[in-house]
């Protein structure tokens, strides 16, 4: 129970609701204080203006010669004092009869007075006006009660003290429900993803309607599941094919040694060593290829790029083919071209393409190197059976081989072209296959120029 409470308190829903309540509460607090202050100030100004108008009326009456006794008022909410230049009270309202001057004020000034000498607990807004008579200058003080202002302010304050918490409660409930409704698809997706294991990565999340953040999250998660599913299938195919390919040379070595042990007179040590060495080299090439592809998958394939002459590497490989095969090797289209790459890796690319062409060629293998629009184009042609259109993309996948290349004598392990594609991609290049003018297949590699 305690864990559920802690989880609810730390949820996005709770944090969003708390944040909304705090933000709205702070805004309402500032607005309420400003409202009360502005209303109180406005009402006080209105009372002060009314008092000043009354004072101006008294001044006009004094200057018109009206007796002081007729100018005072018996209203408890208003008082009048007439004061001479020496500060002596000449006349005052009955509520202030016999009291001294309420407050010393210069003409046109105003202030708020509460308590003595006014026998009232309510505050008064007091204003002063100057009256000129034949006997000298007089000061007229008029005060108006601010009790109504204070009552109105208190009423508004009480209303806000009740209304603001109720409004915050409405905000909290509304935010809680709206957030919960908005996040319910996320919780559904969480439960769905939690139930997906490595065995059922084919499952996908239902897509919410619309194109909001939740819908985009669902599409992103489905894309991730699709990539994971594809990676799992590739891993299964890789493990299956690798196990099969590794089994062949191991089984061949075992068979050779068992035959040699069972019939020592039928074979010589030199023949046995030659056969075992051949199978061991095949096993070594397969292991190195798998390690290189594994580094490519983990993005740890380090390429030490330096400017180099790609045509020199191609001509070296062409000389090797001339010495090791009976094929006609054409290099007339090899022209000077510099690229920026890792020499060892690019040598492997050229060797894999050359071995692939030699394996399928009938009589001729052609090389071509040229610079085109800041790129270096490498072509390897053969006059073999070619590559069907439907197999031109899958042929660069791991352990992908055409049916006619499945026999041990002529087919490789199916990693050579996959290694070519990974190394070229690590250099920022592209690889493709198409029909060759020689009648077979043309493998093209585009690499960035050295500049």
**Domain shared by 377 and 438, yes or no:** yes
- Spatial neighbors of 411 by CB under 8 A, at least 6 apart, are 359, 401, 405
In a domain, 378, yes or no: yes
Which residues constitute the domain of residue 70?
1-195
Give pairs for 102-109: CB < 8 Å, separation 24+: 102/126, 102/141, 102/143, 103/141, 105/139, 105/141, 107/139
**Domain shared by 132 and 106, yes or no:** yes
In a domain, 216, yes or no: no
In a domain, 398, yes or no: yes
Which residue, among 112, 177, 110, has the nearest Cα to 140 in the 3D structure?
110
Q: Are 95 and 119 in contact (CB under 8 A)?
A: yes
**Domain shared by 29 and 164, yes or no:** yes
Residue count of the chain, please give it: 451
**Domain shared by 293 and 331, yes or no:** no
Distances (CA, A) of 299 to 293, 416, 427: 10, 19, 13
CB atoms within 10 A of CB 226: 13
Q: What is the pLDDT along the chain (451 residues), one digit of tens a residue?
A: 444 444 444 578 888 889 999 999 999 999 999 999 999 999 999 999 999 998 898 888 888 878 877 776 667 788 888 888 888 888 888 878 878 888 888 888 999 888 766 656 778 899 999 988 877 888 999 989 888 898 999 999 999 999 999 999 999 999 999 888 877 888 778 887 877 777 777 787 777 777 777 788 888 888 888 888 877 777 777 677 667 667 777 887 887 888 888 888 777 878 878 888 877 777 777 777 777 777 776 666 778 889 999 999 999 999 999 999 999 999 999 999 999 999 988 999 999 999 999 999 999 999 999 998 889 999 999 999 989 988 888 888 877 665 544 344 444 567 788 889 989 998 999 999 999 999 999 999 999 988 7
**Domain shared by 291 and 311, yes or no:** no
- What's the structural domain count of the chain? 3
Q: Note the pLDDT of residue 231.
A: 75
Entry pTM: 0.52
Q: Note the pLDDT of residue 298.
A: 67
Q: Are 245 and 399 in contact (CB under 8 A)?
A: yes
**Domain shared by 279 and 368, yes or no:** no
**Domain shared by 97 and 191, yes or no:** yes
**Residue that terminates a domain, selected from 242, 274, 297:** 297
104-137 burial, b at 16+ Cβ within 10 Å, e below that, comes to ebeeeebeebeeeebebebbbbbbbbebeeeeee
Distance CA 330, CA 133 (A): 129
Q: Note the pLDDT of residue 35.
A: 93
**Domain shared by 321 and 288, yes or no:** no
Q: Are 386 and 441 in contact (CB under 8 A)?
A: yes
Q: Note the pLDDT of residue 120.
A: 63
**Domain shared by 315 and 435, yes or no:** yes
**Domain shared by 98 and 164, yes or no:** yes
Distances (CA, A) of 30 to 27, 37, 39, 165, 242: 5, 11, 14, 14, 72
Phi/psi of residue 130, nearest 5 degrees:
-95, 130
Distance CA 381, CA 329 (A): 10
**Domain shared by 257 and 311, yes or no:** no
Residue 58 tokens, joined = 């008294």
In a domain, 51, yes or no: yes
């Amino acid at each position: 129970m305690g864990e559920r409470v802690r989880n609810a308190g730390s949820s996005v829903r709770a944090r969003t609701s708390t944040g909304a309540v705090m933000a709205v509460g702070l805004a309402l607090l500032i607005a309420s204080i400003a409202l009360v202050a502005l209303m109180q100030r406005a009402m006080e100004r209105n009372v002060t203006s009314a008092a000043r108008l009354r004072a101006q009326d008294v001044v006009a009456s004094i200057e018109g010669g009206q007796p002081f006794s007729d100018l005072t008022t018996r209203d408890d909410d208003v008082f009048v004092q007439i004061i001479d230049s020496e500060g002596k009270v000449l006349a005052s309202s009955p509520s202030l009869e016999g009291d001294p001057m309420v407050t010393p004020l210069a003409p046109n000034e105003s202030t708020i007075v509460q308590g003595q000498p006014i026998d009232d607990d309510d505050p008064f807004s007091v204003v002063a006006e100057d009256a000129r008579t034949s006997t000298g200058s007089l000061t007229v003080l008029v005060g108006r009660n601010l009790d109504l202002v204070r009552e109105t302010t208190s009423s508004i304050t009480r209303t806000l003290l009740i209304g603001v918490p109720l409004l915050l409660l409405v905000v909290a409930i509304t935010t809680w429900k709206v957030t919960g409704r908005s996040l319910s698809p996320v919780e559904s997706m969480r439960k769905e993803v939690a139930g997906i294991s490595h065995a059922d990565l084919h499952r996908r999340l239902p897509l919410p309607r619309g194109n909001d953040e939740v819908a985009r999250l669902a599409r992103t998660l489905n894309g991730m599941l699709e990539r994971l599913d594809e990676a799992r299938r590739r891993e299964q195919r890789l493990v299956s094919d690798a196990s099969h390919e590794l089994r062949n040379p191991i089984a061949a070595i075992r068979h050779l040694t068992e035959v040699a042990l069972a019939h020592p007179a039928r074979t010589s040590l030199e023949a046995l060593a030659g056969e075992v060495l051949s199978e061991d080299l095949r096993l070594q090439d397969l292991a190195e290829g798998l390690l290189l592809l594994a580094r490519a998958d983990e993005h740890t394939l380090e390429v030490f790029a330096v400017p180099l002459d790609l045509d020199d590497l191609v001509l070296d490989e062409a000389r090797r083919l001339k010495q090791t095969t009976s094929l006609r090797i054409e290099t007339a289209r090899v022209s000077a071209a510099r690229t920026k790459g890792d020499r060892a890796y690019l040598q492997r690319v050229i060797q894999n393409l050359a071995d692939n062409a030699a394996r399928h060629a009938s009589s001729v293998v052609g090389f071509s190197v040229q610079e085109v629009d800041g790129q270096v184009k490498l072509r390897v042609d053969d006059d073999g059976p070619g590559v069907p259109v439907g197999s031109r993309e899958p042929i660069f996948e791991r352990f992908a081989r055409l049916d006619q290349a499945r026999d041990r004598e002529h087919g490789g392990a199916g990693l050579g072209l996959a290694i070519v594609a990974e190394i070229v991609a690590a250099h920022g290049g592209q690889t493709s296959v198409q029909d060759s003018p020689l009648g077979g297949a043309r493998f093209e590699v585009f690499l960035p120029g050295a500049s």
